[in-house]
């Protein structure tokens, strides 16, 4: 099975980011969001997160 770089990057970025935030004892990441459809689909698949009006709150476990 072949994995594209885009797919690998999309799947790994949240894991790598969570590891770095945990190491700094950060338990919540609040990020601004884009409104286009592709971005919205991505946000819907971020684990342990909640969408708010202009951002996404991500619980760092």
Please say if the pLDDT value at position 40 is more than 60: yes
Please say if the pLDDT value at position 8 is more than 70: no
Please say if the pLDDT value at position 4 is more than 70: no
Quote the tokens at residue 34.
Answer: 């884009």
pTM beyond cutoff 0.75: no
Domain count across the chain: 1
Cα(26)–Cα(53) distance, integer angstroms: 22
Residue 45 belongs to domain spanning: 5-59
Scanning the chain, the segments in alpha helix (DSSP H) are: 5-23, 37-44
pLDDT confidence of residue 14: 75
Q: Is 17 exposed, middle or buried (0-12, 13-18, 19+ CB in 10 A)?
A: middle
Please say if the pLDDT value at position 5 is more than 60: no
Cα(25)–Cα(23) distance, integer angstroms: 6
Average pLDDT of the residues of the chain: 80
């Amino acid at each position: 099975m072949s994995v594209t770089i885009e797919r690998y990057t999309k799947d790994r970025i949240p894991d790598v980011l969570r590891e770095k935030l945990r190491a700094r004892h950060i338990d919540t990441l609040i990020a601004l969001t884009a409104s286009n459809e592709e971005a919205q689909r991505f946000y819907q698949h971020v684990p342990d997160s909640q969408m708010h009006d202009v951002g996404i709150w991500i619980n760092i476990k």
